[in-house]
Amino acid sequence: MRPILSVSGLSKSFGATAAVTDVGFTLGAGERLAVLGENGAGKSTLIKIVAGVYPPDGGEMVLDGAPHRPASPGTALAGGVSVVYQEPSFFPRLSVLENLYVGREPRDRAGQVDWRRMRGRGEELFRRLDVPVELLTRRMDALSLAEQQLALIARAVDVEAKVLILDEPTSILTDAEVRRLFLIVQRLSEAGVGVLYITHRFEELEHVADRFIVLKDGRLAGDLPASEADHDRILEMMSGRPVNAAISRSPARPGRVMLETSGLTVPGAVSDVDLTVRGGEVVGLYGLVGAGRTELALTVFGVLRPSAGTMRVDGEPHTPRGPRDAMARGIAYLPEDRKTLGIFPGMDTLSNITAVKLPELLGRLGVIRRAEERELATSWIDRLRIKAPSPAFPVTGLSGGHQQKTLFARQLATEPKILILDEPTRGIDVATKTDIQQRLVEVARDGTAVLVVSSDLPELLAVSDRVYVMREGRMAAELSGDDLTEDAVLRATMGVHR
Protein backbone atom coordinates (compact mmCIF):
# COMPACT_ATOMS: atom_id res chain seq x y z
CA MET A 1 0.00 0.00 0.00
CA ARG A 2 1.28 3.45 -0.91
CA PRO A 3 1.84 5.50 2.26
CA ILE A 4 -0.24 8.70 2.30
CA LEU A 5 0.90 10.02 5.65
CA SER A 6 3.96 8.99 7.55
CA VAL A 7 4.97 10.41 10.84
CA SER A 8 8.17 9.83 12.75
CA GLY A 9 9.69 10.99 16.01
CA LEU A 10 6.82 13.41 16.67
CA SER A 11 7.04 15.23 20.02
CA LYS A 12 5.10 18.06 21.65
CA SER A 13 5.28 19.52 25.14
CA PHE A 14 3.14 22.12 26.89
CA GLY A 15 5.33 23.78 29.45
CA ALA A 16 6.87 21.00 31.47
CA THR A 17 4.28 18.44 30.41
CA ALA A 18 5.10 16.17 27.50
CA ALA A 19 1.85 15.52 25.65
CA VAL A 20 3.31 13.49 22.78
CA THR A 21 6.73 11.88 22.79
CA ASP A 22 8.51 10.29 19.84
CA VAL A 23 5.40 8.97 18.08
CA GLY A 24 5.70 7.44 14.65
CA PHE A 25 3.28 5.60 12.36
CA THR A 26 2.42 5.22 8.71
CA LEU A 27 -1.02 5.54 7.19
CA GLY A 28 -1.49 3.97 3.78
CA ALA A 29 -3.72 5.32 1.02
CA GLY A 30 -7.15 3.82 1.59
CA GLU A 31 -6.18 2.53 4.99
CA ARG A 32 -8.35 2.98 8.04
CA LEU A 33 -6.26 3.41 11.15
CA ALA A 34 -7.85 3.56 14.60
CA VAL A 35 -6.10 5.53 17.32
CA LEU A 36 -6.77 4.31 20.84
CA GLY A 37 -5.73 5.54 24.25
CA GLU A 38 -7.09 6.89 27.49
CA ASN A 39 -7.96 10.53 27.91
CA GLY A 40 -4.75 12.47 28.28
CA ALA A 41 -2.81 9.82 26.35
CA GLY A 42 -2.05 12.40 23.66
CA LYS A 43 -4.51 11.43 20.93
CA SER A 44 -6.01 14.87 20.49
CA THR A 45 -2.61 16.51 20.59
CA LEU A 46 -1.35 14.11 17.93
CA ILE A 47 -4.28 14.95 15.68
CA LYS A 48 -3.90 18.64 16.22
CA ILE A 49 -0.23 18.46 15.19
CA VAL A 50 -1.15 16.68 11.98
CA ALA A 51 -3.96 19.21 11.43
CA GLY A 52 -1.66 22.18 11.88
CA VAL A 53 -3.19 23.46 15.12
CA TYR A 54 0.02 22.94 17.10
CA PRO A 55 3.51 23.04 15.61
CA PRO A 56 5.47 19.96 16.74
CA ASP A 57 8.56 20.42 18.92
CA GLY A 58 10.33 17.75 16.93
CA GLY A 59 9.78 15.03 14.34
CA GLU A 60 8.91 14.70 10.67
CA MET A 61 5.67 14.35 8.78
CA VAL A 62 5.39 13.35 5.13
CA LEU A 63 2.06 13.80 3.34
CA ASP A 64 1.70 12.07 -0.02
CA GLY A 65 5.43 12.12 -0.65
CA ALA A 66 6.00 15.76 0.30
CA PRO A 67 7.11 17.17 3.66
CA HIS A 68 4.08 18.20 5.74
CA ARG A 69 4.80 21.23 7.91
CA PRO A 70 1.48 23.06 8.17
CA ALA A 71 1.79 26.63 9.45
CA SER A 72 -1.91 26.76 10.32
CA PRO A 73 -5.04 24.62 10.19
CA GLY A 74 -5.82 26.37 6.92
CA THR A 75 -2.65 25.22 5.20
CA ALA A 76 -3.11 21.69 6.53
CA LEU A 77 -6.63 21.67 5.12
CA ALA A 78 -5.40 23.00 1.78
CA GLY A 79 -2.79 20.23 1.82
CA GLY A 80 -5.53 17.62 2.15
CA VAL A 81 -5.88 17.00 5.89
CA SER A 82 -9.55 17.23 6.91
CA VAL A 83 -10.68 16.89 10.51
CA VAL A 84 -13.92 16.38 12.41
CA TYR A 85 -13.12 17.36 15.97
CA GLN A 86 -14.61 15.76 19.03
CA GLU A 87 -16.13 19.02 20.21
CA PRO A 88 -18.55 19.89 17.42
CA SER A 89 -17.39 23.24 16.17
CA PHE A 90 -19.82 25.00 13.93
CA PHE A 91 -21.40 28.34 13.18
CA PRO A 92 -24.77 28.36 14.94
CA ARG A 93 -26.30 31.43 13.30
CA LEU A 94 -25.38 30.46 9.76
CA SER A 95 -27.27 28.06 7.53
CA VAL A 96 -26.07 24.50 7.12
CA LEU A 97 -25.03 25.30 3.56
CA GLU A 98 -22.89 28.22 4.71
CA ASN A 99 -21.43 26.01 7.40
CA LEU A 100 -20.34 23.50 4.78
CA TYR A 101 -18.32 26.04 2.85
CA VAL A 102 -16.85 28.33 5.49
CA GLY A 103 -13.27 29.07 4.51
CA ARG A 104 -13.64 27.55 1.02
CA GLU A 105 -16.61 29.23 -0.62
CA PRO A 106 -16.84 28.47 -4.34
CA ARG A 107 -15.99 31.62 -6.28
CA ASP A 108 -16.66 32.78 -9.80
CA ARG A 109 -14.08 34.37 -12.09
CA ALA A 110 -14.59 37.80 -10.55
CA GLY A 111 -13.75 36.38 -7.14
CA GLN A 112 -17.34 36.62 -5.95
CA VAL A 113 -18.89 33.97 -3.76
CA ASP A 114 -20.86 31.76 -6.16
CA TRP A 115 -24.01 30.96 -4.19
CA ARG A 116 -25.61 28.89 -6.95
CA ARG A 117 -22.63 26.61 -7.30
CA MET A 118 -22.37 26.37 -3.53
CA ARG A 119 -26.00 25.33 -3.32
CA GLY A 120 -25.56 22.78 -6.11
CA ARG A 121 -22.51 21.24 -4.52
CA GLY A 122 -24.17 21.11 -1.12
CA GLU A 123 -27.21 19.32 -2.52
CA GLU A 124 -25.11 16.85 -4.41
CA LEU A 125 -23.01 16.14 -1.32
CA PHE A 126 -26.03 15.56 0.91
CA ARG A 127 -27.66 13.30 -1.67
CA ARG A 128 -24.47 11.30 -1.94
CA LEU A 129 -24.31 10.89 1.85
CA ASP A 130 -28.04 10.21 2.11
CA VAL A 131 -28.67 13.23 4.33
CA PRO A 132 -31.97 15.13 3.81
CA VAL A 133 -31.30 17.99 1.38
CA GLU A 134 -33.82 20.31 3.04
CA LEU A 135 -31.48 20.57 6.02
CA LEU A 136 -29.22 22.80 3.91
CA THR A 137 -31.34 25.92 4.32
CA ARG A 138 -31.88 25.51 8.05
CA ARG A 139 -29.92 27.46 10.56
CA MET A 140 -27.33 25.25 12.20
CA ASP A 141 -28.61 25.92 15.72
CA ALA A 142 -32.05 24.69 14.71
CA LEU A 143 -30.66 21.18 14.11
CA SER A 144 -30.43 18.31 16.58
CA LEU A 145 -27.02 17.32 17.90
CA ALA A 146 -26.86 14.30 15.63
CA GLU A 147 -27.91 16.29 12.55
CA GLN A 148 -25.24 18.83 13.37
CA GLN A 149 -22.61 16.13 13.63
CA LEU A 150 -23.72 14.69 10.29
CA ALA A 151 -23.37 18.10 8.69
CA LEU A 152 -19.88 18.42 10.12
CA ILE A 153 -18.89 15.02 8.82
CA ALA A 154 -20.29 15.99 5.44
CA ARG A 155 -18.17 19.12 5.54
CA ALA A 156 -15.01 17.15 6.28
CA VAL A 157 -15.80 14.60 3.59
CA ASP A 158 -16.47 17.21 0.94
CA VAL A 159 -12.92 18.52 1.12
CA GLU A 160 -10.67 16.85 -1.45
CA ALA A 161 -8.99 15.10 1.44
CA LYS A 162 -5.99 12.81 1.32
CA VAL A 163 -6.29 12.17 5.03
CA LEU A 164 -9.58 12.31 6.94
CA ILE A 165 -9.35 12.49 10.73
CA LEU A 166 -12.40 11.66 12.83
CA ASP A 167 -12.08 12.38 16.54
CA GLU A 168 -14.72 10.31 18.33
CA PRO A 169 -17.41 11.13 15.80
CA THR A 170 -19.94 8.59 17.01
CA SER A 171 -20.36 9.67 20.62
CA ILE A 172 -23.52 11.64 19.84
CA LEU A 173 -24.75 9.70 16.84
CA THR A 174 -27.55 7.21 16.88
CA ASP A 175 -26.96 3.69 15.65
CA ALA A 176 -28.49 4.29 12.25
CA GLU A 177 -26.33 7.34 11.77
CA VAL A 178 -23.27 5.50 12.98
CA ARG A 179 -23.87 2.85 10.35
CA ARG A 180 -24.23 5.54 7.72
CA LEU A 181 -20.92 7.00 8.90
CA PHE A 182 -19.19 3.61 8.66
CA LEU A 183 -20.43 3.33 5.11
CA ILE A 184 -19.05 6.75 4.28
CA VAL A 185 -15.68 5.83 5.79
CA GLN A 186 -15.70 2.61 3.80
CA ARG A 187 -16.35 4.44 0.53
CA LEU A 188 -13.67 7.04 1.19
CA SER A 189 -11.17 4.37 1.97
CA GLU A 190 -12.02 2.62 -1.29
CA ALA A 191 -11.37 5.93 -3.03
CA GLY A 192 -7.86 5.97 -1.59
CA VAL A 193 -8.34 8.36 1.34
CA GLY A 194 -6.41 7.51 4.50
CA VAL A 195 -8.65 7.62 7.56
CA LEU A 196 -7.47 8.24 11.12
CA TYR A 197 -10.24 7.27 13.49
CA ILE A 198 -10.19 8.01 17.19
CA THR A 199 -12.60 6.11 19.35
CA HIS A 200 -13.35 4.87 22.82
CA ARG A 201 -15.72 2.23 21.55
CA PHE A 202 -14.18 -1.16 20.99
CA GLU A 203 -17.22 -2.49 19.26
CA GLU A 204 -16.60 -0.02 16.45
CA LEU A 205 -13.10 -1.21 15.73
CA GLU A 206 -13.95 -4.01 13.34
CA HIS A 207 -16.16 -1.67 11.30
CA VAL A 208 -13.78 1.23 10.94
CA ALA A 209 -10.24 -0.01 11.25
CA ASP A 210 -7.84 -2.11 9.24
CA ARG A 211 -5.16 -1.43 11.80
CA PHE A 212 -4.88 0.33 15.13
CA ILE A 213 -2.29 2.13 17.19
CA VAL A 214 -2.42 2.62 20.93
CA LEU A 215 -1.08 5.67 22.74
CA LYS A 216 -0.18 5.70 26.38
CA ASP A 217 1.20 8.72 28.21
CA GLY A 218 2.04 10.32 24.89
CA ARG A 219 4.05 7.37 23.61
CA LEU A 220 3.23 4.69 21.09
CA ALA A 221 2.29 1.57 23.04
CA GLY A 222 1.19 -0.65 20.20
CA ASP A 223 0.64 -0.89 16.44
CA LEU A 224 -1.33 -3.93 15.30
CA PRO A 225 -3.55 -5.07 12.46
CA ALA A 226 -7.26 -5.17 13.30
CA SER A 227 -7.28 -8.94 13.00
CA GLU A 228 -5.30 -9.04 16.23
CA ALA A 229 -7.59 -6.56 17.97
CA ASP A 230 -8.37 -8.46 21.09
CA HIS A 231 -10.20 -6.27 23.62
CA ASP A 232 -8.29 -7.44 26.65
CA ARG A 233 -4.99 -6.93 24.91
CA ILE A 234 -5.86 -3.37 23.81
CA LEU A 235 -6.98 -2.50 27.32
CA GLU A 236 -3.72 -3.84 28.65
CA MET A 237 -1.74 -1.69 26.20
CA MET A 238 -3.77 1.39 27.03
CA SER A 239 -3.45 1.14 30.74
CA GLY A 240 -0.18 -0.73 31.01
CA ARG A 241 -1.68 -3.28 33.35
CA PRO A 242 -4.25 -6.00 32.97
CA VAL A 243 -7.74 -4.61 33.46
CA ASN A 244 -10.85 -6.46 34.29
CA ALA A 245 -13.30 -4.37 32.37
CA ALA A 246 -16.32 -6.22 33.64
CA ILE A 247 -17.90 -4.65 36.69
CA SER A 248 -19.24 -6.70 39.52
CA ARG A 249 -22.96 -6.51 40.07
CA SER A 250 -24.60 -8.30 42.93
CA PRO A 251 -28.25 -9.22 42.43
CA ALA A 252 -30.60 -6.33 43.13
CA ARG A 253 -33.05 -6.40 46.00
CA PRO A 254 -35.47 -3.73 44.81
CA GLY A 255 -37.19 -1.83 47.59
CA ARG A 256 -40.07 0.68 47.52
CA VAL A 257 -41.00 2.48 44.33
CA MET A 258 -39.12 5.77 44.64
CA LEU A 259 -39.95 7.34 41.30
CA GLU A 260 -43.06 6.77 39.29
CA THR A 261 -44.41 8.55 36.25
CA SER A 262 -47.70 7.83 34.65
CA GLY A 263 -48.96 9.16 31.36
CA LEU A 264 -46.21 11.80 31.47
CA THR A 265 -46.27 14.07 28.43
CA VAL A 266 -43.98 16.96 27.49
CA PRO A 267 -44.98 18.74 24.28
CA GLY A 268 -42.68 17.87 21.40
CA ALA A 269 -40.54 15.47 23.40
CA VAL A 270 -42.25 12.93 25.64
CA SER A 271 -45.64 11.28 25.14
CA ASP A 272 -47.56 9.25 27.65
CA VAL A 273 -44.61 7.70 29.48
CA ASP A 274 -44.98 5.30 32.40
CA LEU A 275 -41.82 4.50 34.33
CA THR A 276 -40.94 3.24 37.78
CA VAL A 277 -37.64 3.12 39.58
CA ARG A 278 -37.26 1.33 42.89
CA GLY A 279 -34.77 1.92 45.63
CA GLY A 280 -31.76 -0.39 45.30
CA GLU A 281 -31.94 -0.92 41.55
CA VAL A 282 -30.24 0.55 38.52
CA VAL A 283 -32.68 1.27 35.74
CA GLY A 284 -31.32 2.02 32.29
CA LEU A 285 -33.01 4.31 29.80
CA TYR A 286 -32.01 3.69 26.20
CA GLY A 287 -33.06 5.20 22.91
CA LEU A 288 -31.84 7.11 19.90
CA VAL A 289 -30.68 10.68 20.31
CA GLY A 290 -33.86 12.71 20.26
CA ALA A 291 -36.04 9.89 21.59
CA GLY A 292 -36.93 12.06 24.59
CA ARG A 293 -34.74 10.48 27.27
CA THR A 294 -33.01 13.66 28.41
CA GLU A 295 -36.29 15.54 28.31
CA LEU A 296 -37.86 12.89 30.51
CA ALA A 297 -35.00 13.23 33.00
CA LEU A 298 -35.23 17.03 32.93
CA THR A 299 -38.96 16.85 33.57
CA VAL A 300 -38.46 14.73 36.67
CA PHE A 301 -35.78 17.20 37.75
CA GLY A 302 -38.16 20.15 37.37
CA VAL A 303 -36.49 21.87 34.41
CA LEU A 304 -39.23 21.03 31.92
CA ARG A 305 -42.97 21.16 32.65
CA PRO A 306 -45.20 18.26 31.71
CA SER A 307 -48.44 19.09 29.91
CA ALA A 308 -50.13 15.92 31.11
CA GLY A 309 -49.58 12.97 33.38
CA THR A 310 -48.36 12.63 36.95
CA MET A 311 -45.16 11.98 38.80
CA ARG A 312 -44.74 10.51 42.26
CA VAL A 313 -41.65 10.51 44.42
CA ASP A 314 -41.60 8.02 47.28
CA GLY A 315 -45.36 7.73 46.93
CA GLU A 316 -46.06 11.46 47.19
CA PRO A 317 -47.20 13.57 44.20
CA HIS A 318 -44.26 15.39 42.59
CA THR A 319 -44.96 18.69 40.85
CA PRO A 320 -41.64 20.55 40.83
CA ARG A 321 -41.51 24.18 39.79
CA GLY A 322 -37.77 24.05 39.31
CA PRO A 323 -34.66 22.03 40.12
CA ARG A 324 -34.77 23.22 43.70
CA ASP A 325 -38.10 21.54 44.35
CA ALA A 326 -36.76 18.33 42.86
CA MET A 327 -33.62 18.53 45.00
CA ALA A 328 -35.72 19.08 48.09
CA ARG A 329 -37.38 15.74 47.31
CA GLY A 330 -34.01 14.02 47.24
CA ILE A 331 -33.52 13.93 43.46
CA ALA A 332 -30.05 14.45 42.04
CA TYR A 333 -29.30 14.90 38.35
CA LEU A 334 -25.96 14.59 36.60
CA PRO A 335 -26.36 16.44 33.28
CA GLU A 336 -25.25 15.05 29.95
CA ASP A 337 -22.93 17.84 28.92
CA ARG A 338 -20.14 18.19 31.44
CA LYS A 339 -18.61 21.29 29.90
CA THR A 340 -21.63 23.55 29.65
CA LEU A 341 -24.04 22.11 32.22
CA GLY A 342 -21.73 20.65 34.82
CA ILE A 343 -18.50 22.20 35.91
CA PHE A 344 -17.87 25.73 37.14
CA PRO A 345 -14.69 26.29 35.17
CA GLY A 346 -13.19 29.21 37.09
CA MET A 347 -13.51 27.51 40.45
CA ASP A 348 -11.57 24.98 42.50
CA THR A 349 -12.36 21.30 42.88
CA LEU A 350 -13.67 21.82 46.39
CA SER A 351 -16.42 24.26 45.51
CA ASN A 352 -17.32 22.19 42.47
CA ILE A 353 -17.92 19.20 44.73
CA THR A 354 -19.90 21.07 47.37
CA ALA A 355 -21.98 23.22 44.99
CA VAL A 356 -25.25 21.44 45.63
CA LYS A 357 -24.56 20.41 49.20
CA LEU A 358 -23.70 24.01 50.17
CA PRO A 359 -27.00 24.97 51.85
CA GLU A 360 -26.34 22.27 54.45
CA LEU A 361 -22.87 23.62 55.18
CA LEU A 362 -23.96 27.08 56.22
CA GLY A 363 -23.86 28.74 59.61
CA ARG A 364 -25.58 31.97 60.52
CA LEU A 365 -25.84 34.72 57.87
CA GLY A 366 -25.07 32.20 55.16
CA VAL A 367 -21.47 31.82 56.28
CA ILE A 368 -19.85 28.68 54.96
CA ARG A 369 -18.49 26.33 57.64
CA ARG A 370 -15.19 25.97 55.89
CA ALA A 371 -13.53 23.22 57.88
CA GLU A 372 -16.57 21.03 57.43
CA GLU A 373 -16.76 21.82 53.75
CA ARG A 374 -13.13 20.96 53.21
CA GLU A 375 -13.51 17.73 55.09
CA LEU A 376 -16.48 16.75 52.97
CA ALA A 377 -14.69 17.54 49.72
CA THR A 378 -11.54 15.73 50.79
CA SER A 379 -13.47 12.63 51.74
CA TRP A 380 -15.13 12.52 48.30
CA ILE A 381 -11.83 13.13 46.55
CA ASP A 382 -10.49 10.10 48.42
CA ARG A 383 -13.56 7.91 47.99
CA LEU A 384 -13.83 8.44 44.24
CA ARG A 385 -10.05 8.61 43.79
CA ILE A 386 -10.27 11.99 42.07
CA LYS A 387 -6.80 12.91 40.89
CA ALA A 388 -6.57 16.43 42.33
CA PRO A 389 -3.37 17.57 44.08
CA SER A 390 -5.49 19.45 46.60
CA PRO A 391 -9.13 20.48 47.04
CA ALA A 392 -8.10 24.00 46.02
CA PHE A 393 -6.87 22.80 42.63
CA PRO A 394 -8.74 24.40 39.71
CA VAL A 395 -11.26 21.94 38.32
CA THR A 396 -10.31 22.72 34.73
CA GLY A 397 -6.83 21.41 35.52
CA LEU A 398 -8.28 17.91 36.01
CA SER A 399 -8.61 15.46 33.13
CA GLY A 400 -12.07 14.99 31.61
CA GLY A 401 -12.68 11.76 33.48
CA HIS A 402 -11.80 13.28 36.81
CA GLN A 403 -13.92 16.32 36.12
CA GLN A 404 -16.78 13.90 35.60
CA LYS A 405 -15.94 12.17 38.89
CA THR A 406 -16.02 15.58 40.55
CA LEU A 407 -19.55 16.11 39.26
CA PHE A 408 -20.49 12.60 40.34
CA ALA A 409 -19.18 13.47 43.82
CA ARG A 410 -21.27 16.67 43.77
CA GLN A 411 -24.44 14.62 43.34
CA LEU A 412 -23.46 11.78 45.69
CA ALA A 413 -22.55 14.26 48.44
CA THR A 414 -26.22 15.20 48.70
CA GLU A 415 -27.05 11.55 49.55
CA PRO A 416 -29.92 11.48 47.07
CA LYS A 417 -32.85 9.11 47.23
CA ILE A 418 -33.12 9.21 43.46
CA LEU A 419 -30.02 9.61 41.31
CA ILE A 420 -30.46 10.38 37.61
CA LEU A 421 -27.32 10.13 35.49
CA ASP A 422 -27.40 11.41 31.92
CA GLU A 423 -24.60 9.91 29.80
CA PRO A 424 -22.37 9.54 32.86
CA THR A 425 -19.34 8.20 30.99
CA ARG A 426 -19.50 9.85 27.59
CA GLY A 427 -16.09 10.71 26.21
CA ILE A 428 -14.03 9.59 29.16
CA ASP A 429 -11.30 6.99 29.32
CA VAL A 430 -11.96 3.33 29.94
CA ALA A 431 -10.47 3.05 33.41
CA THR A 432 -12.43 6.00 34.79
CA LYS A 433 -15.51 4.79 32.97
CA THR A 434 -15.36 1.40 34.65
CA ASP A 435 -14.76 3.11 37.96
CA ILE A 436 -17.86 5.30 37.63
CA GLN A 437 -20.00 2.36 36.45
CA GLN A 438 -18.91 0.30 39.44
CA ARG A 439 -19.72 3.17 41.82
CA LEU A 440 -23.18 3.76 40.48
CA VAL A 441 -24.06 0.12 40.96
CA GLU A 442 -22.78 0.32 44.53
CA VAL A 443 -24.80 3.45 45.19
CA ALA A 444 -27.91 1.60 44.06
CA ARG A 445 -27.12 -1.38 46.23
CA ASP A 446 -26.94 1.00 49.18
CA GLY A 447 -30.62 1.75 48.60
CA THR A 448 -30.68 4.65 46.14
CA ALA A 449 -32.93 4.52 43.11
CA VAL A 450 -30.61 5.00 40.12
CA LEU A 451 -31.79 5.94 36.62
CA VAL A 452 -29.06 5.89 33.96
CA VAL A 453 -29.64 7.53 30.58
CA SER A 454 -27.03 6.29 28.14
CA SER A 455 -26.41 5.77 24.44
CA ASP A 456 -23.71 3.27 25.27
CA LEU A 457 -25.55 -0.04 25.08
CA PRO A 458 -22.81 -2.29 26.50
CA GLU A 459 -22.63 0.09 29.44
CA LEU A 460 -26.37 -0.06 30.05
CA LEU A 461 -26.39 -3.83 29.82
CA ALA A 462 -23.50 -4.02 32.28
CA VAL A 463 -24.97 -1.78 34.96
CA SER A 464 -28.75 -2.07 34.66
CA ASP A 465 -31.15 -4.38 36.42
CA ARG A 466 -33.92 -3.22 34.11
CA VAL A 467 -33.86 -1.22 30.89
CA TYR A 468 -36.51 1.02 29.39
CA VAL A 469 -36.30 1.80 25.71
CA MET A 470 -37.75 5.04 24.38
CA ARG A 471 -38.62 5.67 20.79
CA GLU A 472 -39.90 8.95 19.37
CA GLY A 473 -41.00 10.19 22.75
CA ARG A 474 -42.83 7.01 23.74
CA MET A 475 -41.88 4.10 25.92
CA ALA A 476 -41.17 1.29 23.46
CA ALA A 477 -40.16 -1.50 25.81
CA GLU A 478 -39.30 -2.46 29.33
CA LEU A 479 -36.82 -5.32 29.53
CA SER A 480 -35.37 -7.21 32.44
CA GLY A 481 -34.00 -10.60 33.40
CA ASP A 482 -33.50 -12.97 30.49
CA ASP A 483 -35.36 -10.64 28.13
CA LEU A 484 -32.70 -8.00 28.62
CA THR A 485 -30.42 -8.66 25.68
CA GLU A 486 -28.63 -6.44 23.21
CA ASP A 487 -30.77 -7.79 20.42
CA ALA A 488 -34.03 -7.08 22.27
CA VAL A 489 -33.01 -3.53 23.13
CA LEU A 490 -31.97 -2.77 19.55
CA ARG A 491 -35.19 -4.21 18.15
CA ALA A 492 -37.25 -2.02 20.47
CA THR A 493 -35.13 0.99 19.57
CA MET A 494 -35.69 0.46 15.86
CA GLY A 495 -39.34 -0.38 16.29
CA VAL A 496 -38.82 -3.86 14.86
CA HIS A 497 -41.12 -6.48 16.29
CA ARG A 498 -40.73 -10.17 16.08
Q: Which of residues 171-230 bind other proteins (CB under 8 A)?
A: 218
Residue 91 contacts residue 100 (beta carbons within 8 Å): no
Selected from 306, 342, 416, 424, the binder of other proteins by CB under 8 A is 342
Instruction: Please list every residue from 12 through 31 that binds other proteins, using CB under 8 A.
Output: 14-19
Using the rule CB under 8 A, give the single segment among 74-82, 228-236, 240-248, 456-464 that binds other proteins.
74-82
Of 178, 234, 170, 158, the closest CA to residue 198 belongs to 170
Which residues in 237-260 are b (16+ Cβ under 10 Å) and which e?
bbbeeebeeebebeebebeeebbb
Nearer CB in complex with other proteins: 395/479? 395
- 91 in contact with other proteins (CB under 8 A): yes
Give the nearest distance from C-beta 289 to other proteins in angstroms: 7
Using the rule CB under 8 A, give the single segment among 92-100, 237-245, 434-442, 443-451 that binds other proteins.
92-100
Give the nearest distance from C-beta 142 to other proteins in angstroms: 6
Residue 416 contacts residue 228 (beta carbons within 8 Å): no
Using the rule CB under 8 A, give the single segment among 107-115, 437-445, 458-466, 490-498 that binds other proteins.
107-115
Element (H, E) at 381: helix 370-383
Size of the site for other proteins (CB under 8 A): 101
Measured in whole angstroms, the distance separating CA 305 from the mean position of its chain's CA atoms is 27
- 346 in contact with other proteins (CB under 8 A): yes
Instruction: Please list every residue from 118 through 147 that binds other proteins, using CB under 8 A.
Output: 132, 134, 138, 142-147
- 348 in contact with other proteins (CB under 8 A): yes
Of 18, 27, 22, the closest CA to residue 68 belongs to 27
463's torsion region: left (phi>0), alpha (psi -120 to 50) or beta? Answer: alpha
- 273 in contact with other proteins (CB under 8 A): no
First to last CA, the chain: 45
In the shown chain, the binding pattern of residues 297 to 336 toward other proteins, with x for contact by CB under 8 A and - for none, equals: -x--x-x------------------xxx--x-----x-xx
Instruction: Please list every residue from 386 through 445 that binds other proteins, using CB under 8 A.
Output: 390, 392-394, 396-400, 403, 410, 427
Residue 224 contacts residue 47 (beta carbons within 8 Å): no
Selected from 28, 40, 56, 194, the binder of other proteins by CB under 8 A is 40
Q: Which residues contact 165 (CB under 8 A, 6 or more apart)?
A: 47, 50, 51, 81, 82, 83, 84, 195, 196, 197, 198
Give the nearest distance from C-beta 44 to other proteins in angstroms: 5
